[in-house]
Structure 1
Amino acid sequence: MCERKLLGPEIIQATVNKVNIIHARLKATLDKQKSYANVRRKDLEFEVGDRVFLKLSPWKGVVCFEKRGKQSPHYIRPYEIVERIGLVAYRIDLPKELSRVHDVFHISMLRKYISDPSHVLETLEIELRDDLSYEE
């Protein structure tokens, strides 16, 4: 058997065809990856005066808020945005207890707080008797 060798324009055409096939497969793969990534991506932007939750960074060996592991909170109470710094950083109004923490945070550390009246729990008035007992 004699193998036929490609010469001249035939080898160029075969190479161009293979490059086109590779290019089409790469484009299909990239489009599929992009569609997966875009499903989870959210564009966040806050205004001055908005209220946001602050994300806790899990540090190994540090117990925050007396809870450990899965039961530890991921976000803590809503804080007010005081100033926008650049495109992705915000200054928030922290209480005195957190005065040692820097008050500028990246947008990935914040989550929007949507106020809901059901978040506020009403306390029931309990009438105590003289012997410090009460009726349920």
Structure 2
Amino acid sequence: MLGPQMIQDMVDQVHVMQEKMRTAQDRQKSYADLRKSDIEFAVEDKVLLKVSLINYVSEPTHVLEVKMIELDDALTYVETPKEMLDNKVRKTRHGKTVLVKVLWSNHQVEEATWEAVEAM
């Protein structure tokens, strides 16, 4: 049979383990909170980015085209559908939904999205 002293020792060890687990969880939460916080920049802030080009091999296909996007006074723009590329019917429990693949203005073909016909 287990003596009362042995049971008390086990209870004490359980309390120590629970305290260590609480400490680890608190550290994890504080780290997650730091990672979640939004970074905000003002217009006059200077942001430096470190770019490593040690193993980069230049290729002409890596050159990006610069497209000018017209912004309004609030520095926003309205995305408009430019072309319907494809369509398909998705069957659901409640019926069928017709989807179209939309090429949006100011985007490449690779960035086209599937949208419901009712939303277009």
The TM-score bracket by the shorter chain reads 0.3 to 0.5
User: Which protein has greater RCO, CA pairs closer than 8 Å, 6+ apart?
Assistant: 1
User: Which is greater in Rg?
Assistant: 1
Q: Normalization by structure 2: what TM-score? A: 0.37
Q: Normalization by structure 1: what TM-score? A: 0.34
